[in-house]
Structure 1
Amino acid sequence: MQQISLPETWSQQDHLQWGRRLFEHGYYWESHEAWEHLWLELGRTSEEALTMKGMIKLAASAVKCREGNSTGAIRHASRAAELLRPGSNSVLFEDCNLKAARESAKRITESPPVDHVAPSDQPVPLPGLQI
């Protein structure tokens, strides 16, 4: 996979929203990459960073669904559900529906949509995934 290079002048909100748009259009690997930059910038262990890590894990779970790997999808989705805690009062995530993201992760743990496998070069949004 090719590394994504994003503008150095982007704000944290720019990185978050870019990853969100990629995710919503089925570019799960690319959203993971876009969000990883933000996760590192947030310090990897702060409350905001852990929320970001939850979104990264949700994207990784979607990648595993598209690969047809239910075990990997469930593992990543379980961790995403743990990290996407209710009540995050961060301004950074005010435009994201963390509750919907958490519910998406829980749905994958119960029944991963691995029957929507597609070539990796073609984005196919998985049904019911929201952020």
Structure 2
Amino acid sequence: MDAHLRAGIAIFNAGGYHTAHDAWEEYWLGLDSGTDDERFLHGLIQYTAAVHHARDGNWAGATGLADSALEYLGSLPAQYRGVEVESIRSSLRRLRDDPEVIERRRPLALTHRGEALAPEDLDFEATAIAAEALAERRGEEDLLDRATSYAREDLDGTAEPGRGETDSRILPLVFDYVRDPDHRSLVARRLEQHCDRRQAKADDVAGLFDPEG
């Protein structure tokens, strides 16, 4: 859960108020309804939606979602899973009572274990989750699914003989995709080129390492 949690927090703190929930939603959908973890992530998702609507000037939507988020987070302790839940509840109350506050003040920076996370703070697993969440908004989810799979093989040394890279070109680009929004389109093109080359290389050596090859 930590990787999904940290990915969403970093995206949120970087201004991706709508995209952040995608990093949490995949994990949240697999949880049993009514558990503390389910209510926690549901509340965070509602919080990001409330902020998103407030920034769009949809005051009624923002206040309704803030109320809903408070219900989900209401029974949790002040700190849960390393997150300052009480600070989020306070932010939600301000947003509910005065949704236009979003025009005067940046949303609360979310923290995990006392750290206000930025994309640069994420390890590979959290970065991969963040990359796929960001890619979904850009229609590049298939590309990033391929890229993170190749990067994971290189990182873990699990690529089949002749198919991996000891000096991975894909791994740093996955990090750049998350960390460098100004050049995300360029990074995506580079990832596509390297993934295509990787697939072509795999096709070239297909069968060479089979016993009958």
Q: Structure 2-normalised TM-score?
A: 0.47
Aligned-residue identity in percent: 28
Residue from 64, 68, 93 that aligns with 1:106: 93
Unpaired segments ≥5 residues, structure 1 = 1-11, 117-125
Is 1:80 matched with 2:69? yes
Is 1:94 matched with 2:94? no
Aligned residue for 2:82, secondary structure, equals: coil
Unpaired segments ≥5 residues, structure 2 = 111-213
Q: Could you say which residue in structure 1 is the equivalent of 2:108?
A: 129
Aligned counterparts of 1:41 and 1:75: Cα–Cα separation in 2: 25
AA of the residue aligned to 2:93:
K
Distance 1:115-1:13 versus aligned 2 partners, 3 A rule = closer
Q: Shift of the alpha carbon at 1:115?
A: 6.1
Count of residue pairs brought into register by the alignment: 110
Is contact 2:18–2:48 with CA below 8 Å preserved after alignment? Answer: yes
Q: Could you say which residue in structure 2 is the equivalent of 1:22?
A: 11
Task: State the superposition RMSD in angstroms.
Answer: 2.4
Larger Rg: 2
Question: C-alpha offsets along residues 2-36 of structure 1, whole Å, 9 cap, x if unaligned?
Answer: xxxxxxxxxx1100010011112221111111111
Aligned counterparts of 2:25 and 2:107: Cα–Cα separation in 1: 23
Aligned residue for 2:106, secondary structure, equals: coil
Aligned residue for 2:15, secondary structure, equals: coil
Question: C-alpha offsets along residues 88-131 of structure 1, whole Å, 9 cap, x if unaligned?
Answer: 499xx432110111111111000013663xxxxxxxxx524243
Q: Could you say which residue in structure 2 is the equivalent of 1:4?
A: none
Question: C-alpha offsets along residues 36-83 of structure 1, whole Å, 9 cap, x if unaligned?
Answer: 112112234322101110110000001101111000000000111111
Is contact 1:69–1:114 with CA below 8 Å preserved after alignment? Answer: no
The structure, 1 or 2, with the larger RCO (C-alpha pairs under 8 Å, 6+ apart) is 1
Within a 5 Å distance, the mapping from 1:31-46 to structure 2 comes to 31-46=20-35
Is contact 1:15–1:34 with CA below 8 Å preserved after alignment? Answer: yes
Is contact 1:66–1:114 with CA below 8 Å preserved after alignment? Answer: no
Aligned counterparts of 1:86 and 1:99: Cα–Cα separation in 2: 11
Q: Structure 1-normalised TM-score?
A: 0.73
Distance 1:115-1:51 versus aligned 2 partners, 3 A rule = closer
